[in-house]
Structure 1
Amino acid sequence: MKPFRLFHFDIKTLGNYGDTLLFEAVRQLFHGYNDRGSFRFHGSTNLRDVVGPKLVSALNENYDAIVIGGGGLFLSDTNPNERSGWQWNCSLDLLEKIDIPIIVFAVGNNRFPGQKDFSPKFVEHVNLLAEKSIFFGLRNRGSVETIKEYLRPELRDKVVYQPCPTTLSSYLFPDIHAASREPKRELSIQALVGKRQTAAGFDKEAIYDQCFEALNGLRSKGWNISSFSNARGDNAFAVDMRETLASDEHHKLFGSKNIFQALDFFARTPLVVGMRGHAQMIPFGLGTPILSLLVHNKLKYFLDDIGFPEFCVDVRRANFAGELIDKAEYIYENYDAVTSGFERARAGLMDLSISNLGDIYKALGGRGQKKKFVPMSPFERYLAQQGYNSQLRLEELKRAEEVLVREPA
């Protein structure tokens, strides 16, 4: 039986490393399933671009199914639009005209604390999307429960848990994953208290001061401290950290056309501390212990899902520096137990993902699906990377042309 032809609504970008990796990880997970015999992605486009009637016709005529996701796409103020009320820029009318199966895969409810609720347009759109989908998988159980609240009762059971494929990185990139490692007093940290967090009541100065106090305390205990940035907004914390602690070691992970290069950093860093979702999910996926600084519910959702809620630090608590020090020291002192626990959790997520892919394959009419998962080789990843960058360049040129057309002569 020939592999099913898939079209991917994704986001290709070098500006946020989480987004850079996650959509490619989705494709690699589908491709590797069932000894590479079940799925092939034959096309993609940026999900934030307007979906037009020509594209819908092309989808219906040339593909077996479309995949939307993953990522925190259920968010109204990134790519705000009147068509859907969330990031996928497809109108209700054109969504209705899509005749091929729809797969919503590892998408998250990304509403920030204190952010206004979704619009009535979103409610109408997400209900139609759920109605038309053969699979509606969200990346954490918190998203599963909160999105169900917007759906009609008869649609709620369609919403299931599908982890972000970045949490499966040891299976997708086994040659990069370090199966065994020695505990070291060494960590890297990413932090961002921006406009959204400030609007929700987070005190940037107080939080950063507590982070610096914790980092200084850890350094006095022999820890090597560095910072990293998944996106441009993270650089400000790194600058403040350098000025406050005289810490010059910084790792800029975004912006590189080598889209898999940052995996080496996450795989070799003994402990990663972060505020971004993918600053936690990617290192976990590679077997690296994490501590989450709670500025968004998705961080807590993820730790709950993997069975390690104790690795969350609530930055709204006064004087949380001591808690951060104690938890970092705990991870160092119990390193083998923590990494073994992560390995078991990751295996459970992989088993669930393979089961979900089996359900998708069966829903599309597939038969025979008990063969092993086969990851890409380093050379195949190189080819995928070249394709990624070529497609990104084409999308950038397309947008530039559209801007020129709109501008008056």
Structure 2
Amino acid sequence: MTASVPVPAPRSETLTGKRRVAFASYVDENYLPGFLTLLRSLALTNPTVCEDFVVLYDDLQPASITEIRKLHPRIVMRRVVPERYDDFVKGDPENYLVRKAYFILDVFRIRDYDTVITLDTDMVVLGDLAELLRMRDGVGAVPQFLLDQSKLNSGLLVIQKEYLTDEFCAQIDAVGTAGTYELDKHDQGILNALLAGKFIKVDPRYNFVKRRLSGDRSPDEEDVVILHFTGRHKPWNGGEHGYSGAEAAWKEYDLSHADFVERFLALDDEKHPDLLIHFGRHLVASEGRHDGVREVAEAYLAKGRYEDAVEILGRSPIPADESRSHELLGQALMATSRYEEATAHLLLSTAHAPAAARPFGRLANMAWVLGDNAASRDYALAGLNADVSDRACRISYERAEAIAARPAEAGSPSEQLAHVAFYMERQGNAGDKILPETVRLCFGPDTGDRSWHSIHAHKLFDEAALERVNSRRGLVIGGGGLFIPDTSPNGNSAWQWNVPDRLLEKIDVPLAVFAVGYNAFDGQSYTRRRFEESLRLLVSKSAFFGLRNHGSVEKVRALLPAELQDRVLFQPCPTTVSRQLVPGWQDPVTRDDTVLINCAYDRAGLRFGHDYDHFLREMATAVRAIGKHAEVRYAAHALDDERFVFDLRREYGISMPVEPMYDFDTDQLRTAFARTKLVIGMRGHAGMIPFGCGTPIISLISHPKMAYFLSDIERPEWGVSVHDRNLGAILAERSIGILDNLSATVADVHGRQEALWKVTQDNVAKLKTILG
């Protein structure tokens, strides 16, 4: 019997289509020593990899499960159902080991992941598994050694979602109960009968059977990645004569837990923050030691766990000459709004001259947050004296100079609205630069300081700021994705507006939250309790609370008590209706024969996971195809976005002209987007701004907000996941389709926009009454 074509499985639950990857093994008490060694080897040879590890089991003792959990932070225990295999025809039904050999087949009943990599418990990992993590098709496996190469060895399987289905499990059960397979091969026999040679052949280095190293040969001679101790003689039970090289490799990872953690922390390689926290925190806590503290603290900072970073660094006094530890503690204290303490530690860290620019840059930014412009300038200048090329210090210095030269506001406070927003610096993200002005256009054509009093969201909202707000006729907060935990972390609100509750309580003018977004990535979290408390107070204080997509509305409502949920409304980002807002707007009579592409690289791990190589390869395919129909140019919203152009040229020899949009003013941005035929963008505002200018878009979805927006305008087909298996072909087909039907697509954009404009008009009419 052979397998039918797998039925497509439901799409990944993540809105971005990001692949959920897991490892899996069947483990029992007899093979537990091998599995513990396997886990240690995985962490030591692949320290940047930390995916869920599913443990299939039937008879493990609680103490054994505890030992397993000590070796991995993301263990998922799943009990198998042994009775499921009772009716399978077996070669030796009385042998309990034969019976258990089928239990790994439960892996095909897992529905939580898009890719599952199974590893036998008599394996040891010796090298980089990146190639396996990048696999995206079918079932991958190594052919049997010295046997029929059309048959696989099931010790390693890389299983994709289309095989993790009820239909494929039914086929497994049918073959097992019929006995139409090699009975002495157990689970492997069933899979070979089903697949009939139709599996993706993996290099033997990834399932290198011990027999290939007979004569005491070392696995180093063959560049082995995964060594498999097939046969009866396991290294934890005494091993076998003639395989000393293989067994020596296994014993390298047969360590006590303390020795294992010591070895992990001593690795020079980059390490996954979850692994660092899991292995490092207890050792540091139990022994009160300083070595390893910095790395664990950096891991906490990377995960947004700022209080934990403060706690672990502050357990014992830091020697004055440990500048990096002082800097990390200063960074963590700043993120929790303990500014005086942060200043002291950052000043100590500047004593190390070769690295002084970075802490001076942090001090300059913190002084600006606290409203001390002179100190900010001085710190920035000190940082530039330490390293004239330091970009953070240069930005702080130029900002301080600009603030000092800024004229006083021209407007009368009683006639102004206060406006909390993220005001982007020159050469900052182009999308963020355009947001404050576009929000203001909703309330009238005057976007300057006669009508508006600007409050940067990241600056500490203190008593003086409160007094200034209460002297205005109202307060508008928006737009942009201000509900994000890590752009400018603070302990006052745990989102971007740095406002303490006690001062938020004292605002006595009408308050409107306008077109704010809930901007967390898949897998990213807030300091939940502090954020929820601040959010509830904000909603209760607001006369209007509008979020820029229905996805954000749902996320925020879920964090609120029932009595506040209905106050959260939909208010589209005003950039999506720019044609209606900009005074004197005229649609272009003709468009340039160009397509603009934008990619984003902030939080690249959250965006791409293991799929960046795939993304780049598929984008090369798309760029070549689209380039036959229009000139393809690159729209860099931020300096870091230009990485795509360099990578594409280096890997695929494709060169693209770059539009440095981070240098454009708002009129130049709108003009550039209005005149092109199509924008393919990964940033939220690389979709929303051109859409608002009447230009067709295709979103490269790496963040939920992209899917939220396309859902709101009822055009999900205008998006494709960066993880899509056929990204290049889909993107090329849809792009060429739009170019071939440009007038109709532009008309569709205008029609979609009308619905958003109607919502905006209705909301603004209410707000004008509320705000006077």
Structure 2 residue matching 1:163: 3-state secondary structure: coil
CA distance in 1, matches of 2:468, 2:633: 48
Aligned partners of 2:591 and 2:676 also within 8 Å: no
Structure 1 residue 103 and structure 2 residue 524: aligned? no
Matches within 5 A, 1:96-245: 96-173=505-582, 175=584, 177-178=586-587, 180-181=589-590, 184=593, 186-198=594-606, 201=609, 203-219=611-627, 221-243=628-650, 244-245=652-653
Structure 1 residue matching 2:662: 3-state secondary structure: coil
Q: Give the deviation of 1:42 after TM superposition.
A: 3.2
Relative to structure 1, is the Cα distance of residues 361 and 182 closer, same or farther in structure 2, using a 3 angstrom cutoff?
closer
Structure 2 residue matching 1:361: 3-state secondary structure: helix
Aligned partners of 2:608 and 2:723 also within 8 Å: no
Relative to structure 1, is the Cα distance of residues 4 and 138 closer, same or farther in structure 2, using a 3 angstrom cutoff?
farther
Which protein has the larger Cα radius of gyration, Structure 1 or Structure 2?
Answer: 2
TM-score w.r.t. the length of structure 2 is 0.44
Query: Which range moved further: 121-130 or 317-326?
Result: 317-326
Structure 1 residue 46 and structure 2 residue 459: aligned? no
1:290-329 residue CA offsets vs partner (Å, 9 max, x unmatched): 0001100101111111121111111212231110011001
Q: Which of 18, 33, 36 is equivalent to 2:431?
A: 18
1:206-243 residue CA offsets vs partner (Å, 9 max, x unmatched): 21111111111222x33321111011121111222344
Q: Which of 676, 690, 694 is equivalent to 1:283?
A: 690
Structure 1 residue matching 2:666: 3-state secondary structure: coil
Code of the aligned partner of 1:25? T
CA distance in 1, matches of 2:563, 2:505: 19
1:380-402 residue CA offsets vs partner (Å, 9 max, x unmatched): xxxxxxxxxxxxxxxxxxxxxxx
Code of the aligned partner of 1:211? M
CA distance in 1, matches of 2:714, 2:520: 23
Aligned partners of 2:591 and 2:675 also within 8 Å: no
CA distance in 2, matches of 1:4, 1:155: 31
Aligned partners of 1:8 and 1:41 also within 8 Å: no
Quick one: percent identity of the two aligned structures? Answer: 37
Aligned partners of 1:225 and 1:247 also within 8 Å: no
CA distance in 1, matches of 2:711, 2:610: 22
Structure 2 residue matching 1:25: 3-state secondary structure: helix
C-alpha RMSD of matched pairs (Å) = 2.2
Structure 2 residue matching 1:292: 3-state secondary structure: strand
Code of the aligned partner of 2:715? F
* Alignment-derived partner of residue 442 in structure 2: 29
Relative to structure 1, is the Cα distance of residues 303 and 197 closer, same or farther in structure 2, using a 3 angstrom cutoff?
farther
Structure 1 residue matching 2:487: 3-state secondary structure: coil
Aligned partners of 1:74 and 1:86 also within 8 Å: yes
Relative to structure 1, is the Cα distance of residues 183 and 63 closer, same or farther in structure 2, using a 3 angstrom cutoff?
closer
CA distance in 2, matches of 1:3, 1:307: 42
1:71-106 residue CA offsets vs partner (Å, 9 max, x unmatched): 000001111111001000001111111111111000
Q: Give the deviation of 1:181 after TM superposition.
A: 4.2
Larger RCO: 1 or 2 (CA < 8 Å, sep 6+): 1
Structure 2 residue matching 1:300: 3-state secondary structure: helix
Gaps of 5+ in 1: 367-409
Aligned partners of 2:511 and 2:544 also within 8 Å: yes
TM-score w.r.t. the length of structure 1 is 0.82
Code of the aligned partner of 2:587? A
Aligned partners of 1:177 and 1:267 also within 8 Å: no
CA distance in 1, matches of 2:693, 2:683: 16
The size of the alignment, in residue pairs, is: 355
* Alignment-derived partner of residue 103 in structure 2: none
Query: Which range moved further: 134-143 or 171-180?
Result: 171-180
CA distance in 1, matches of 2:694, 2:465: 40
Q: Give the deviation of 1:26 after TM superposition.
A: 0.7
Aligned partners of 1:303 and 1:309 also within 8 Å: yes
* Alignment-derived partner of residue 261 in structure 1: 668
Aligned partners of 1:226 and 1:247 also within 8 Å: no
Aligned partners of 2:476 and 2:513 also within 8 Å: yes
Relative to structure 1, is the Cα distance of residues 99 and 175 closer, same or farther in structure 2, using a 3 angstrom cutoff?
closer
Structure 2 residue matching 1:307: 3-state secondary structure: coil
Structure 1 residue 295 and structure 2 residue 702: aligned? yes
CA distance in 2, matches of 1:200, 1:362: 45
Aligned partners of 1:176 and 1:263 also within 8 Å: no
CA distance in 2, matches of 1:280, 1:94: 36
Relative to structure 1, is the Cα distance of residues 40 and 354 closer, same or farther in structure 2, using a 3 angstrom cutoff?
farther
Aligned partners of 1:107 and 1:137 also within 8 Å: yes
Code of the aligned partner of 2:571? Q
Aligned partners of 1:115 and 1:200 also within 8 Å: no
Structure 2 residue matching 1:288: 3-state secondary structure: coil
Gaps of 5+ in 2: 1-412
Structure 1 residue 55 and structure 2 residue 470: aligned? no
Aligned partners of 1:198 and 1:204 also within 8 Å: no
CA distance in 2, matches of 1:199, 1:251: 23
CA distance in 1, matches of 2:592, 2:736: 11
Code of the aligned partner of 1:8? H
Code of the aligned partner of 1:21? I
Relative to structure 1, is the Cα distance of residues 75 and 198 closer, same or farther in structure 2, using a 3 angstrom cutoff?
closer
Q: Give the deviation of 1:7 after TM superposition.
A: 0.4
CA distance in 1, matches of 2:759, 2:658: 36
CA distance in 2, matches of 1:107, 1:328: 30
Code of the aligned partner of 1:173? V
Aligned partners of 2:598 and 2:641 also within 8 Å: yes
* Alignment-derived partner of residue 400 in structure 1: none
* Alignment-derived partner of residue 5 in structure 1: 416
